[in-house]
Amino acid sequence: MILIWLKLIFAILIIWPRGYVLVYVIDRSKSFSFGFKCFAGWLFGLAAFTLDLFAVNVNFGVKFAPWLFIALALGQIIGLQFVIFLFERKILLPDFKKFPPFFKKQWLDFSGWPKGQKLAWAGLVLFLTFKILMSVWQAANIPTYDFDGWNNWNLRAKVIFEEKTIPLDKTSPFYLGGGLKSYPLNDGLFKVWLAYAAGRFDDSFVNQASVFYYLLLLLIFYFSLPKRLNRLWRLLALYALSSLPFLYFHSQAPYADLLFSAFLFLAVGCIFHFLDGRGNSFFYISGIALAFAVWTKNEGLAVVFPVLAVETLIFLLLKWRNVFNLFIYWFFAVLTALPWVSFKIMNKIDILSGDSSSFNFVFNQAYLGEMFSSVFLRSHFNLLWLLVFFIIIFQLRLIKKDKALGYLALNLALFFGLYNGIILFTDKAYDTTALARVNMQLAPLGVLFLTFFFERFFGKMKLK
């Protein structure tokens, strides 16, 4: 059993280097902290790895095997290293001699913190460690029991694992693994890799993917915050995000919403950081995050893509970006998403969930009370959405004075309206089970908005 857990850790670790190198290549303005590069890179490494698996299997018929996983996990590093060499005339290699001085510096820095900040940091680390261990235990001991989680997520991974390929027979109920065929395969193929590492498909092991998504989301959120924010302020923001009950619940559920939420956070949040003056790299990484969001859930293509397409066009009209900037942004975003999107188009796979590309406008009056209760009154999100929209409505004049914060507030309102509007005013909502999940996808952006609103309008909190 211990050996299996060690193999799972190895499977998660091996996808990191290619992602780190990818983010390093994107960071031409040297805007990213090491922590942000590390954990955003891990997320990108995961998605790039599964997208390569999909492309190689579907286009060339190469069956899944351990050698293929290892080759794809490490292979792209060579090409990215060549790009780094073109820009910087060096090869990015780990310098192990730098590790001892690095950790010594971190320790000395920590030793200089005020006592209150040390206690807050230690308390938060213990709190998060406990939560993560509980999620690991929960995922390891409770199998997937709900129909949606099994039929549309874990079943697909299990079929692909057993077949050693992605089934492409359109007459089969297990086409693309079964379930709703319009769903992207990012989550499913990562679970296939975990199953190969474990030696069998077992919910106890493959469902640890959700714990990993939760941890990555928290770390990306924390390290995306600029150091100009007071350390306690950053820790408080991290605590607020980690404590959202429904977000934490999904660290134990076999869905892809946490994974999608991380990409959505990067796609929108990094444009916020760019507008906040933190460098061009934040703008360009947003495009790659958007592409991986398309590869993760249908909302990426049906909702996030059109919104960001219109917004980046507005950036051009306002002269916030020029034609070359937008070309680079969209060229690499489209290139990254192309394997999955072109496959959907060529095989006439529907764009929307429920294996459909059409919808009718209706008024689901019966859902109105449930929506309000689920989002604002129950404990799913604590007071998050009440605070966010109270501030947007009553402090709009202040928010409009800040370009970056105004952009973030506008996106929260737009996505919140689109997500809940689809449920209330179209026939795509078969029931209300997706209500809390779609609003959870926006939760990290909501916490980001509150963090910067309070920081800007209730005192600039800077490190001394």
- Work out the pLDDT band at 404, boundaries 50, 70, 90: very high
Q: Which pLDDT does position 430 carry in this prediction? A: 60
Rounded to an integer, the average pLDDT of 342-353 is 89
**Domain presence at residue 101:** no
Looking up tokens 């600039």, which residue turns up?
460
Q: Is residue 256 within 8 Å of residue 295, measured between CB atoms?
A: no
The helix-helix angle for 305-317 and 257-275 (nearest 10°) equals 10
**Domain presence at residue 269:** yes
Cα–Cα distance for residue pair 228/230, rounded to 1 Å: 6
Range of the structural domain that residue 80 is part of: 2-91+123-457
The helix-helix angle for 115-141 and 231-242 (nearest 10°) equals 20
Q: How many domains is the chain built from?
A: 1
Q: What are phi and psi of 216, to 5 degrees?
A: -60, -45
Q: Is residue 330 within 8 Å of residue 287, measured between CB atoms?
A: yes
Query: Which of 11-15, 104-108, 127-131, 165-169 is the least confident region?
Result: 104-108
For residue range 125-183, list pLDDT tens digits in order.
999 999 999 999 999 999 898 888 898 899 999 999 999 999 999 999 999 999 999 99
Which of these, 437, 127, 13, lies nearest to 253 by C-alpha position? Answer: 437
**Domain presence at residue 82:** yes
Examine the pLDDT at 462 and tell me if it is beyond 70: no
Examine the pLDDT at 460 and tell me if it is beyond 80: no
Which of these, 376, 372, 389, lies nearest to 450 by C-alpha position? Answer: 389
For residue range 292-323, list pLDDT tens digits in order.
999 999 999 999 999 999 999 999 999 999 99
Q: Which pLDDT does position 363 carry in this prediction? A: 83
Q: Which pLDDT does position 196 carry in this prediction? A: 97
Q: What is the DSSP letter of 201?
A: -
% of the chain beyond a pLDDT of 70: 95
Examine the pLDDT at 232 and tell me if it is beyond 50: yes
Mean pLDDT (the chain, rounded): 91
Amino acid, single-letter form, for residue 102: F
Examine the pLDDT at 358 and tell me if it is beyond 80: no
Which of these, 24, 42, 25, lies nearest to 33 by C-alpha position? Answer: 24
Examine the pLDDT at 328 and tell me if it is beyond 90: yes
More confident residue, 358 or 60: 60
- Work out the pLDDT band at 354, boundaries 50, 70, 90: low
**Domain presence at residue 118:** no
- Work out the pLDDT band at 265, boundaries 50, 70, 90: very high
- Work out the pLDDT band at 357, boundaries 50, 70, 90: low
User: CB count, 10 Å around CB of 81?
Assistant: 17
Q: Which pLDDT does position 351 carry in this prediction? A: 81
Examine the pLDDT at 95 and tell me if it is beyond 70: no
Top mean-pLDDT range of 39-53, 100-114, 357-371: 39-53
Cα–Cα distance for residue pair 397/1, rounded to 1 Å: 58
Nearest-Å Rg of the Cα atoms of the chain is 22
**Domain presence at residue 211:** yes
Which of these, 197, 192, 203, 183, lies nearest to 163 by C-alpha position? Answer: 192
Examine the pLDDT at 20 and tell me if it is beyond 80: yes
**Domain presence at residue 98:** no
Q: Which pLDDT does position 117 carry in this prediction? A: 84
Top mean-pLDDT range of 72-76, 93-97, 407-411: 407-411
Which of these, 266, 326, 258, 322, lies nearest to 290 by C-alpha position? Answer: 266
Cα–Cα distance for residue pair 377/386, rounded to 1 Å: 9
Q: Which pLDDT does position 80 carry in this prediction? A: 84
Amino acid, single-letter form, for residue 304: V
Cα–Cα distance for residue pair 224/29, rounded to 1 Å: 15
**Domain presence at residue 40:** yes
Q: What are phi and psi of 353, to 5 degrees?
A: -65, 160
DSSP for 71-113, written as a single string: HHHHHHHHHHHHHHHHHHSS-----GGGHHHHHHHHHHHHHTS
- Work out the pLDDT band at 82, boundaries 50, 70, 90: confident
Which of these, 262, 218, 213, lies nearest to 127 by C-alpha position? Answer: 218
Examine the pLDDT at 210 and tell me if it is beyond 70: yes
Rounded to an integer, the average pLDDT of 77-87 is 82
Examine the pLDDT at 461 and tell me if it is beyond 50: no
Q: Which pLDDT does position 104 carry in this prediction? A: 81
Rounded to an integer, the average pLDDT of 113-130 is 90
Rounded to an integer, the average pLDDT of 74-82 is 83
Cα–Cα distance for residue pair 260/440, rounded to 1 Å: 10
- Dig out the tokens for 195 from the structure: 């199953």
Residues in the chain: 464
For residue range 242-259, list pLDDT tens digits in order.
999 999 999 999 999 999
- Dig out the tokens for 64 from the structure: 């899944």
**Domain presence at residue 108:** no
More confident residue, 105 or 50: 50
